[in-house]
């Protein structure tokens, strides 16, 4: 039997759906004014010199592009979330004893057809430094208490059912947990698919790699392993970001931008913009320079050239 979600929970879940096919809203996109963008970053005078530099040199960050017809902001009205609004939202932050991020594999991950879970864990640990990241033993799909449906390309797993099931699986020391799978997802019958979905309040999420490596929805052609990895770590950190209470970004081209399709995922960068970076710093308390070094090392080792170029440039400007 399907568990019904409360209206409040449904609203929270819809806020952070990624990659849609089925729900069409109409929105009028408006370019953010420079003064509003600066205000969204907030007063940086009390930040330590490293962090102050990390949210400065704003010319290094590309402004949010006007959305194309199929893009997220063309169909979703989002007012944005400034740093001040984030603080006032009362977002839950990690604390001693609940400071670990968990990755839970659902089903099998075949060699060569899916990203390495160890790579995903390493990137997530660098991105949310100094949080700990752990990969849990895989759970068979038959053991997930969620509806499924069949499509011409194979099975789809109901993402909202999966979220409810995950709530009871959250380890006691977890700040948040994301389930990852190679099976396609759908949130309700009227939607074609969704890349991922997460719950802010319950700190659980699920996302699928099925469309990231050129299989489902990708024309059947395998994509380069670097591109598949880049797509995967973008959405993994995006989803975890929501569980830190961070909403979609409208200020810059940012890892926290909403995405309706793979093309939009590909043009969004690996990095968080100054507004979102301040939110993650508040939650995690990282050293900006140490975080950038760890992310640079990962990008260089895995051949993620754009990310490596960005983090190297930022490090060169740090005090």
What does the pLDDT look like over 148-190, one tens digit per residue?
999 888 899 999 999 999 999 999 999 999 999 989 999 999 8
* Boundaries of every domain in the chain: 27-92+249-289+301-319, 94-243
pLDDT band at 116 (very low <50, low <70, confident <90, very high): confident
Residue range 237-280, pLDDT digits in tens: 998 999 899 999 999 999 999 988 888 999 999 999 999 999 99
Q: From the candidates 160, 202, 230, 239, which is the catalytic residue?
A: 239
Q: Please tell me the predicted confidence (pLDDT) of residue 111.
A: 62
Q: Model pTM?
A: 0.87
Q: Please tell me the predicted confidence (pLDDT) of residue 255.
A: 96
Q: Please tell me the predicted confidence (pLDDT) of residue 10.
A: 35
pLDDT band at 55 (very low <50, low <70, confident <90, very high): very high
160 catalytic? Reply is no
Please, what's the b/e burial string for 181-194 (b: 16 or more CB within 10 A of its CB; e: otherwise)? bbbbbbbeeebebb
In terms of average pLDDT, the best of 62-71, 102-111, 261-270, 273-282 is 273-282
Mean pLDDT of the region 201-207: 89
Q: Does domain 94-243 have CATH number 3.40.50.2300?
A: no
Q: Please tell me the predicted confidence (pLDDT) of residue 28.
A: 66
């Amino acid at each position: 039997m399907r568990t019904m979600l409360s209206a409040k929970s449904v609203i929270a879940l819809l806020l952070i759906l990624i990659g849609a096919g089925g729900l069409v809203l109409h929105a009028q996109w408006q370019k953010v004014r420079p003064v509003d963008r600066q205000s969204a970053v907030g007063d940086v005078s009390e930040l330590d010199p490293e962090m102050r530099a990390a949210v400065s040199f704003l010319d290094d960050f590309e402004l949010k592009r006007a959305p194309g017809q199929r893009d997220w902001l063309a169909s979703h009205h989002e007012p944005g979330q400034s740093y001040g609004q984030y603080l006032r939202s009362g977002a839950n932050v990690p604390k001693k004893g609940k400071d670990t991020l968990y990755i839970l594999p659902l089903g099998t991950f075949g060699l060569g057809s899916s990203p390495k879970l160890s790579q995903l864990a390493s990137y997530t640990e660098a991105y949310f430094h100094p949080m700990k990241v752990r990969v849990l033993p895989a759970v068979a799909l038959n053991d997930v208490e969620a509806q499924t449906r069949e499509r011409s390309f194979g099975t789809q797993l109901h993402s909202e059912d999966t979220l409810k099931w995950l709530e009871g699986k959250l380890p006691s020391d977890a700040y948040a947990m994301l389930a990852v799978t190679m099976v396609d997802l759908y949130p309700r019958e009227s939607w074609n698919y969704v890349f991922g979905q997460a719950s802010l309040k319950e700190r659980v999420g699920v996302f699928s790699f099925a469309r990231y490596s050129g299989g489902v929805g990708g024309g059947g052609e395998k994509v380069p392993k670097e591109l598949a990895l880049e797509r995967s770590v973008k959405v993994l950190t995006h989803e975890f970001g929501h569980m830190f209470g961070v909403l979609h970004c409208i200020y810059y081209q940012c890892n926290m931008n909403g995405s309706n399709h793979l093309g939009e995922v590909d043009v969004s960068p690996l990095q968080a913009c100054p507004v979102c970076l301040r939110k993650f710093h508040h939650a995690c308390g990282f050293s900006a320079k140490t975080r950038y070094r760890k992310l640079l090392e990962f990008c260089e080792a895995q051949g993620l050239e754009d990310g490596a170029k960005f983090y190297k440039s930022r490090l060169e400007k740090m005090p």
